[in-house]
Structure 1
Amino acid sequence: MSNKFVYVFGPSKTEGAADMKDRLGGKGANLAEMCRLGISVPPGLTISAEVCTVYTEQGADAVRKLIESEVLQGVAFVEKEMGKKFGDAADPLLVSVRSGSRASMPGMMDTILNLGLNDEAVVGLTNKSGNERFAWDSYRRFIQMYGDVVMGLKPESKEDHDPFEVIIDEIKEKKGVELDTQLEVADLKHMVSEFKALIRNRLGREFPNNPWDQLWGAIMAVFQSWDNDRAKLYRKMNDIPDSWGTAVNVQSMVFGNLGDHSGTGVAFTRDAASGEDIFNGEFLVNAQGEDVVAGIRTPQQITLEGSRRWAQLAQVSEEDRRSKFPSLEELMPEIYQQLLKTETALENHYKDMQDIEFTIQEGKLWMLQTRSAKRTGAAMVRAAMEMLQQGLIDEKTALLRVTPDRLNELLHPVFDRQAVKSARSIAHGLPASPGAATGQIVFFADEAEEWVAKGKTVILVRQETSPEDLRGMAVAKGILTARGGMTSHAAVVARGMGKCCVSGAGSVRVDPKARTMTVGGKVYKEGDWVSLDGSTGQVYEGQVPTKDADLSGDFGKLMELAERYKRLAVRANADTPEDARVARNFGAVGIGLCRTEHMFFEGDRIKSVREMILAQDEAGRRKALAKLLPMQRGDFEGIFKAMDGLPVTIRLLDPPLHEFLPHDETNQREMAKEMGLSYEEIKNRVDDLHEANPMMGHRGCRLGITYPEITEMQARAIIEAALNCKAQGINPKVEIMIPLVGTVREFNAQAKVIRSTAEAVFAERKATIDFMVGTMIETPRGALVADSIGKQAEFFSFGTNDLTQMTLGFSRDDIGKFLPVYLKDGMYEQDPFQSIDQKGVGQLVQMAAQKGRSVRANIKLGVCGEHGGDPASIDFFHRVGLDYVSCSPFRVPIARLAAAQAAISNK
């Protein structure tokens, strides 16, 4: 650890910079950087993220002992900068205490504002500001936040409201008003008294009066919030290491709630939903920052253009817009111009879309934060390509700026326009995060998890979301809120997740206790279906059909750019001509895995497969296989046509035969009747095929060695299909793959059947076709002896699903029983079936690749397991030197971008 733990920032002295995020967190580093750029930032101090580790391992006492003297010096610096004393009752220096990890985690950790107030300081604040209402409103806000965040006073159940809000509502109800800004000073004083009594009665202790006690309590609470449930979940969802910790920022307060010449807001240098190069954001007059984020008041737009767009979506007349919701550009033109100049400077400096927070205090603009903005996948692509065109960034930066997995948002269907015309729109809100989502209404985050676990599709409906709703938001198809704007918690987090979100649908009345939402007098209950269009803000009744998304424009340009930089080719796992066409449209340059067994389940084919399995001898099996031959041949012809000129790797039959037979008595009896056999005959055959561990039993090449006529039929179907296509002017590139090989003798036995069958077909047809024979490396032994196998095989394709299963000894079917515990306890950093275990399974891949190339320099090496579509795994496969990866058709663009990023990052 370093010897310095506290870094100050302000106009006279700044100790940090943007490149110190590891130590100061994103917020602290960027506050320091803004100071260096000459931007007006309230002075403060940042406690290093290293201290968070001390808190986690040793506790609060050790932290205070470690940093107390530096914190005292830091506060003294802020006092000098602001000309105020912390704890001075006559003219108190008030501070905010905020979290700040090196990775942005919006709303996941805790914040306390107005710290330093007590019964004496609120009088001093009144005298200095000349605004008694402001002083007491600030005091009640502080008690409410501190009581919740630091002292832990929470609702007693999920159905209960915030106990502080209950008191506010009761006072408002007695006064007959809707907004707390209409409350009188006497009401606010009463509220403060009630808040303190609530804390005393519920927690059994007094609200702290000493500002220094308040400060240390807040600092420790922020460190503690690094390990709250929502922060841990967010880190898991976004691959943020637990070891990073959070810094703590203690910053002098500036006030947006000092009257009509004050305000606060959040803005984006570009549209975070679409990526459009337009400055946008929301603000509130006479408010503090949490009012905007929480969405408890209807926010106003910063720009005139944004205000007019909002009014059109919200169906607000131009007259009402000007009088009730004027833009900052209209209301405070000089402040707007300063803000516009600042946002331009920040984007040009960071060369990335920025999310900025600001406060206006009595006509002076203060910047409170800037960070790389959370954005949708569509916005990532558009912003990256437009910044490239504008000369802000280069091609490599543009490619690295887009997170590969976020392309997934652009690849899936959107609402069919014709279907939308006939759909019943029941409400409209703000298009907070684009996309289409259809699901059943649920009102609580934990119940959303439960419903999804049962296979249901849900829309999470809330009055407004809070960070505690993160789990439900993560599993929901879409999010609908009655309150909040484009910068509310729901909107920001949904965009970060790539979730469809409609926020601020004011006509929706949510009653969580009754589990209903009411729109236009109609009541919708939990379980009713609704559809959300996050691109327009429309809410539709029932289920609305979808259609494929358009992948041209900026998306197409990004893919073209990726092609210029990537080295790894990207193929697709496809078993049908339709899958092959989809894959090719997405840019796949071949098929890396065609699973022939998937073809056996279609239509009447399963009957012929079962005849083959039930046959008593080779002659019976051949008779059944003869029925399958034309079906398989037709399948392969369709795939070769779809992939004309591109390689197609066809895997011979792999799964154990028992998978093609029913295992329950009802279906066995039905099959017996269909096959003209007795139930006992079927049952006995099923029993004969039973294996204790079928995935490591009679399957793969073992089937072909036991029953070579199966391999013979499949080889004939493949070769005949290729010859038929060649005769039609199509260029089939055939690669036949033998599965589950562990010894060269297994490979040779199957390769002999394939090649002799091909020669027989060539003689019959008096025509030939080039083809390759290779193997799937999916057993540890196959990897270990890859040099001997490589002398015979023309290509290796790593089946990393089974290779992971056999190497780790983990069953894919049973891993769910213990993997969550393993991940939670750090036994593994990620699910090894989703991202390859580089230190274990990865080493086998690397070894096999080296051994294969040592005996056959031109051997083709690829991956066809699920890891072929995982960006982190693709980076590893690039470094190992493989030739291609293969993944599902809809992950092909993701893999293409990841391959380009791997090439750039590993140069």
Structure 2
Amino acid sequence: MANRNLNLLDYSEITGAAPIALRTHGWRAKCLQRLVRLDMPVPKTVALSFEAVRAIAAGSMPDLSGLVGRFDAGQLLSVRPSAENTDWGGPGAVLNIGMNNARYADITETHGEKVATALYLSFVQAYAQHVARLDPDMFAVSEPSPRALEAALDDYEKEMEEPFPQDPKKQLAEVLRSMARAWEGTSARLLRQAKGASAEAGLGLVVQAMAGGYGAPETGAGVIQFIEPVTGAPQITGRYAERGQGREAVSNNPQAMYLTCDPRGASLEELHPAAFQSLVRHGADCREKLREEMQIEFTVVNGEVSVLDAVKVQRNSRAAVRVAVSLAEDGIITRKEALMRVTPRALSELLHRQVDPRGPRDVLARGIAASPGAATGRLVFTSTAAQASASRGEPCILVRRETSPEDIRGMHAAAGVLTERGGMTSHAAVIGRGLGVPCIVGATGLRIDLKNRQLHTGRRILSEGDLITIDGTAGEILPGEADMLEPALDQWFTTLLDWADALRDIGVRANADTPADARIARGFKAEGIGLCRTEHMFFEDDRLTVMREMIFADTGPDRAAALARLLPMQRSDFIELFSIMEGLPVCIRLFDPPLHEFLPHTREGMKQLADALDKPLSEVVRRSEELAEFNPMLGLRGVRLGVTLPEIYEMQARAIFEATIAIGRRGGKVVPEIMIPLVSAMREVELVKARIDAVAAAVRVERGNGFEYRLGVMVETPRAALRAGEIAQHAEFMSFGTNDLTQMTYGLSRDDAGRFMSYYVQAGVFPEDPFHVLDTDGVGELLLIAAERGRRSRKSLTLSICGEHGGSPESIAFCRDAGFDYVSCSPFRVPVARLAAAQLTIKGDEASDQMPDLR
């Protein structure tokens, strides 16, 4: 090897046996070696390792005479980056190194002035921009010409106070030094760290002979791939530029021809049929031997193909799923490898309509991507307007400063939801994910003018009725109607998840509050309902009025009379839920929210309520004021309502038991799970359990039917976690509601923390938003304490998590390690959880070590 004094500056010619590795030379060098091993026509290439590039950045330089001597005399060269991961980027490639006055004269003689001028000028432009760091606008020309070349050389000399370098070794040295130092720069380091690279990530460089005919009529450059990057369907795509060089000649050239069936004229297949067939064979070899769909960069000279490079085809989520499954079905990779090639979060994109990435994007504003998917609709500012729009069959986007339980009906009616405030666990975000409705929250660049029914985005003012598109996957608000991709719940999606189910070792249930939610959960193969929030059943118009009558009742019998009218409605809800789930477990959380959420908050709303209840407005106002609390999330809610207003829980228990009997008489079998929310003391559980057991005994006697049920608690307070050993004596299961548990452990409002959480994460106070990613150190320790103490008291205790963290891969990993029985998440996160759970199983398997090192 060259330069034995400086081993770090050694370089290797890429041959089949050369010591090239992904972790020392990067993906491009390793890929080129594999192409060589496949006997593809790769031009001579030399690879510099990460250590060599670091040494160059520090001021050393390899033996350039020896390096250049590896190539034929007068050979023009290119230098390309080779990081360990393709996603980490790197400095741009520099082509035609070695072009100087002498080579210009030679090429003018052999290929003509026009070809030589174009080559020399393009090199001067690239060198000035990427190496000398001069303003590229200085060297921009509309048409290459000898005069333009002369002007460019003069401008370079004036700016740099020295002539353009003529020595090919000096040119190469400056290119290597520039690219090495660009990689070590602060901005480049931060950019790749944002893409997952470590601060010490290395860069390799490859020096390659230019494989072109210098722009002769029978030459050209192109790229070819064999799948459509959005759908993943088999399809030859790419472009070919006659007399072109490099990827830019193809991507920036509107005259570049298509590879097959070009409506504008001849295609590559027609011009060079033998070359085209060679490329098809190379693509098939890449797929089989490299076990990946690759995009090949190539040149054609006199009908002969040279393969310059191959990279993994950039693709979206639906294409990634189809490619992974197809490769496994063809026996090229294993099913485990296919599962590991799809990220769980990417899978969620397939469940909803998405903005077509091939279309233009004019972004008006951005917010937090709270619920994936995209929707187009007309702006509305109230839930009433959203319902009216839906009744007319017109899709709408509901815009609110922040949503409340009163907005549930409007959110059901809307095609998408946009809020000015909130974070990942705000009301709008949680309900949006549960409904599968695209949602953007925390769009602080917006200003809502409710008086004039306008939305100010900073760039323009939108009025109610204007058409907009929201992209809940990217968190972007777009004007007008965007091109959409429909959900991709196809055979490849189904197959991948069937493979996941065969491997995972933790259960996955869904949070489902309505029959519609339950049907979605069943469609996504949830193993039951892990959280049914019954309060959402009371916001329908007919039920809301009865609920308000109960709230205004002064005595227990009056409350019971109002609740008796709700009983058949609740019973019907549960019968439908049990029927849909077909014997799978259904965990029903008893009534949780404070009662004031069911009352109107405006004077006009109170007046309408007074009319509906036939009561004086003053009485409605007084009762609303009585129910108001300074901190309702820590007030009279959850089990506290069950203790102080027991009639509510008694009605719900009766509805559950009567629905259980009804299903049994139809020949079905269900063992309902009844969950008491917000407990913090064993005595609370004892009191509620005694009443529920009494209702069960009464229903058995009245109906003459036996049935089983399970009673458990939702652990949402730190005290409940700490006293889990006592509480487990009266509970058959514990489900951790990590939304409230995180809120109470941190002393943070989950609805307001989004306003400043990004600053805390940036400052390193928290590694992640604890409402988005489970805090395994603090909140997680409470979960572990509760699990250990609960199971010490009751060995058969079932443990689960049902907060918004339930669908997070990180949370699933924690729960699996802690020995939890299942996780529960919103219906549209069930597929994500199924895949994540399978990947965790695979990671614990030695077979995962056989993953290919080229990605």
Quickly name the TM-score band, shorter chain normalised. 0.7 to 0.9
Change (3 A) 1:262 1:191: farther
The CA RMSD over aligned residues, in Å, is 4.0
- Residue of structure 2 in register with 1:8 after alignment: 11
Pair 1:728 & 2:666 matched: yes
1:551–1:217 distance in 2 versus 1, CA, 3 Å: closer
Structure 1 pair 630–528 and aligned structure 2 pair: CA distance change class (3 A): closer
- Residue 146 of structure 2: which of 165, 186, 205 is its match? 186
How much identity, in percent, do the aligned residues show? 35
Map of 2:94 onto structure 1:
113
- Cα distance in 2 between the residues matched to 1:206 and 1:892: 65
How far 1:773 sits from its partner (Å)? 0.5
2:222 to 253, 265, 277: 265
User: What's the CA shift for 1:133?
Assistant: 3.2
Separation in 1 of the partners of 2:819 and 2:7?
A: 43
1:72-83 matches, cutoff 5 A: 72-73=62-63, 75-83=64-72
| 1:772 CA displacement | 0.5
| 2:551 matches 1:568 | no
User: Aligned AA for 2:149?
Assistant: K
Q: Is contact 1:573–1:594 with CA below 8 Å preserved after alignment?
A: yes
- State yes or no: 1:123 paired with 2:110: no
* Unaligned residue ranges in structure 2 (runs of 5+): 1-5, 378-415, 417-437, 439-458, 461-465, 472-478, 846-855
1:398 match: 338
- Provide the C-alpha distance between the structure 2 equivalents of 1:145 and 1:665, rounded to a whole number of angstroms: 68
**Corresponding residue to 1:643 among 573, 577, 581:** 581
- Rounded to whole Å, the distance in 2 between the matches of 1:722 and 1:548 is 38
Q: Which secondary structure does the structure 1 equivalent of 2:203 belong to?
A: strand
* 1:790 Cα deviation from its structure 2 partner: 2.2
Contact conserved, 2:124 with 2:153, CA < 8 A, in 1? no
Q: Which amino acid counterpart does residue 110 of structure 1 have in structure 2?
A: P
> What secondary structure is seen at the aligned counterpart in 2 of 1:287?
coil
Deviation at 1:597, TM superposition (A): 1.0
- Residue aligning to 2:311: 371
- In the TM superposition, residue 103 of structure 1 has moved relative to its aligned partner by 4.7
1:456 Cα deviation after fit: 9.9
Task: Give the corresponding residue for 2:30.
Answer: 29
Match 1:605 to one of 543, 549, 552: 543
Tell me what 1:882 maps to: 820
Q: Where do residues 9-158 of structure 1 align in structure 2 (5 Å cutoff)?
A: 9-11=12-14, 16-18=19-21, 20-21=22-23, 23-35=24-36, 39=40, 40-48=42-50, 66=58, 68-69=59-60, 71-73=61-63, 75-84=64-73, 91=74, 94-98=77-81, 100-105=83-88, 109-114=90-95, 116=97, 120=101, 123=104, 126=107, 130-145=111-126
The offset of 1:638, in angstroms, is 1.3
Q: 1:755 to 1:776 in 2, by over 3 A?
A: same
Shift of 1:282: 2.9
- Is the contact between residue 559 and residue 897 of structure 1 (CA under 8 Å) also seen in structure 2? yes
Report the Cα distance in structure 1 between the residues aligned to 2:798 and 2:708, rounded to whole angstroms: 16
Paired residues of 2:9 and 2:51 also in contact (CA < 8 A): no
Deviation sequence 1:817-859 (CA, Å, 0-9, x none): 2222233344444433233233333333333333333333322
Q: 1:789-824 CA deviation, whole Å, 9 max, x = no partner? A: 223211121212222222333322122222222333
Indicate how the Cα distance of structure 1 residues 715 and 451 shifts in structure 2: closer, same or farther if over 3 A, else same: closer
Give the C-alpha shift of residue 890 in structure 1. Answer: 2.0
Amino acid at match of 1:597: E
Checking the alignment, whether the CA contact within 8 Å between 1:92 and 1:125 is kept in structure 2 is: no
Asked if 1:712 is matched to 2:693, the reply is no
Deviates more, 1:587-596 or 1:336-345: 336-345
Task: State yes or no: 1:347 paired with 2:287.
Answer: yes
* 1:189-338 correspondence to structure 2 within 5 Å: 189=149, 192=152, 196=156, 209=165, 211=171, 212-224=173-185, 227=188, 235=195, 240-243=196-199, 245=201, 247-252=203-208, 254=210, 256=212, 258-277=215-234, 280-291=237-248, 294-302=251-259, 307-308=260-261, 311=262, 316=263, 320=264, 324-327=265-268, 329-338=269-278
The within-5 A match list for 1:701-850 is 701-850=639-788
Aligned 8 A contact 2:180 2:203 in 1: no
Alpha-carbon spacing, 1:300–1:721, altered in 2? closer, same or farther (3 Å): same
Match of residue 398 from structure 2: none
- Work out whether residues 215 and 242 of structure 2, in 8 Å CA contact, stay in contact via their aligned partners in 1: no
1:582-617 Cα deviation digits (max 9, x unpaired)? 211221121111111111111122222223333334
Q: Distance in 1 between matches of 2:505 and 2:36?
A: 42
The answer to whether the Cα contact below 8 Å between 1:7 and 1:15 also exists between their aligned partners in 2 is no
C-alpha deviations, 1:503-559, integer Å up to 9, x for none? xxxxxxxxxxxx99xxxxxxxxxx877999xxxxxxxx9869999757352333223
Residue 601 of structure 2: SS of its match in structure 1? coil
Q: How does 1:634-713 map to 2 (within 5 A)?
A: 634-713=572-651
CA contact (8 A) 1:654 1:701 kept: yes
SS of 2:668 mapped into structure 1 = coil
Q: Which shows bigger deviation, 635-644 or 881-890? A: 881-890
Q: State how far apart, in whole Å, the 2-side matches of 1:15 and 1:837 are.
A: 46
Aligned residue for 2:296, secondary structure, equals: strand
Aligned partners of 2:14 and 2:46 also within 8 Å: no
When residues 806 and 152 of structure 1 are mapped into structure 2, their CA distance, relative to the original with a 3 A threshold, is farther
Instruction: Please tell me whether the aligned partners of residues 300 and 325 of structure 1 are also in contact (alpha carbons under 8 angstroms).
Output: yes
Whole-Å separation in 1 of the counterparts to 2:623 and 2:125? 71
Partner SS, residue 563 of structure 1: helix
Question: Could you tell me how far 1:726 is from its partner in structure 2?
Answer: 1.9
2: CA distance, partners of 1:122 / 1:898: 57
Note the C-alpha offset of 1:895: 1.8
Compared CA separation, residues 367 and 549, structure 1 to 2 (3 A): same
Q: Give the TM-score, by structure 1 length.
A: 0.73
Q: Sort the Cα spacing of 1:834 and 1:358 in 2 relative to 1 into closer, same or farther, 3 A.
A: farther
Return the offset for 1:645: 0.9
Could you tell me which runs of 5 or more consecutive residues in structure 1 were left unpaired when the two chains were aligned: 53-62, 85-90, 155-161, 172-182, 416-430, 460-476, 478-498, 500-514, 517-526, 533-540
Specify the alignment match of 1:623 in structure 2: 561
Structure 2 vs 1, CA of residues 741 and 152 (structure 1 numbering), >3 Å: closer, same or farther? Answer: farther
CA deviation after TM superposition for structure 1 residue 652, in Å: 0.9
| Secondary structure of the structure 2 residue equivalent to 1:282 | strand
TM-score (norm 2): 0.77
Classify 1:639/1:11 alpha carbon distance in 2 versus 1 (closer, same or farther; 3 Å).
closer
CA contact (8 A) 1:656 1:698 kept: yes
Aligned residue runs from structure 1 range 862-901, under 5 A: 862-901=800-839
Answer whether contact 2:298 2:307 (CA < 8 A) is retained.
yes
Counterpart CA distance in 1 for 2:162 and 2:93 is 18
* 1:111 match: secondary structure: coil
Residue 369 of structure 1: SS of its match in structure 2?
A: strand
CA deviation after TM superposition for structure 1 residue 164, in Å: 6.5
Tell me, yes or no, if the aligned pair for 1:652 and 1:739 is still in contact at 8 Å: yes
Query: Per-residue displacement from partner, 1:615-669 (whole Å, max 9, x unpaired)?
Result: 3343333233223222222211111111121111111112222222233333333
- Residue correspondences, number: 740
Structure-2 separation of matches of 1:153 and 1:457:
45
User: Which moved further from structure 2: 95-104 or 893-902?
Assistant: 95-104
Displacement of 1:81 after TM fit?
1.7
The one-letter code of the counterpart of 1:258 is G
**8 Å contact 1:226–1:232 — kept in the other structure?**
no
**Alpha carbons 1:109, 1:226 under 8 Å: kept:** no
Q: Is the 8 A contact 2:10 2:48 kept in 1?
A: yes
Judge conservation of contact 2:15–2:36 (CA < 8 Å) in 1.
Answer: no
Alpha-carbon distance between aligned partners in 2 of 1:193 and 1:31, rounded to the nearest angstrom: 35
